[in-house]
């Protein structure tokens, strides 16, 4: 699967989503 199919990939997705989501 390429980046273009799935959009920009982040290795730190869990930390980033945790900082963005409501507490």
Partner 1 sequence: TEAEQLTPVLLDGLREENLQFISKLKDSSGSCAVDVSSVWWGAAGYRELCVVTACESSVSLWKPQAPDHWEKVYTWQLGEIPVIQIIPVPDTCNLVCIALGNLEIGEIRLLLYSSENDSFKQSLVKSGNIKAVLGLRDGKLISSSRAMQEQQVEIVSLSETGRCKDRQTLMPPEETVLAFAEVEGVRDALVGTTAVNSVVVWNLKTGQLLKKMHIGYSYPASICHRAYSDSGLLFVVLSHPHAKESELCGNPAFRVIAFNPKTARSTGVMFSSLPPGHTGRYLEGEVKDAWAAAVLTSGAIAVWDLLLGCCTALLPPGSDSRWTLVRWSAAGAGLLAGRADGSVCVYRYA
The contact set with partner 1 (CB under 8 A) reads 1, 5-11, 13-14, 16-18, 21-23
Min dist. Cβ of residue 22 to partner 1 (A): 7
- Smallest gap, in angstroms, from Cβ of residue 4 to partner 1? 10
Report d(CA 4, CA 1) in Å as an integer: 8
Spatial distance between the Cα atoms of 19 and 14, rounded to a whole number of angstroms: 9
Widest distance between CA atoms in the chain: 32
Closest separation in Å from C-beta 16 to partner 1: 7
């Amino acid at each position: 699967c390429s980046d273009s199919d799935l959009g920009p990939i982040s290795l730190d997705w869990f930390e980033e989503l945790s900082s963005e989501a409501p507490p």
